[in-house]
Amino acid sequence: MEQIVKQTLLFDFYGELLTQHQQRVYEDVVLNDCSYSEAAEEYQISRQGVHDLVKRCNRALEEYEAKLHLVEKFLSIREKIERIHILAEGKPEIQKISNEILEEL
């Protein structure tokens, strides 16, 4: 899985477990593509401080996933529903239901 997609999914599932400060910095650097320097200036911390914070957040998010497996389960369910959708070709009711489930995920 591409690293940015993985980081985004981990943040979506576990980001609320980070502190508000960690959430803001992580979101700016990883999701909004701000540089470490830009984030350092915005939050009045050193560039190294931003780098360390992002690294700690990545480690924490990975640890949450290792224990809870929510992203893994989500991806598995999504894949299975996509397969159901393909197998149900010509059966509009089943395709409709699988589409609804995919949208809810």
Instruction: Give me the mean pLDDT over the 78-82 stretch.
Output: 90
d(CA 91, CA 99): 12
Residue 98 has pLDDT above 90, yes or no: no
* pLDDT attached to residue 1: 59
* pLDDT attached to residue 6: 92
pLDDT in tens, 40-55: 999 999 999 999 999 9
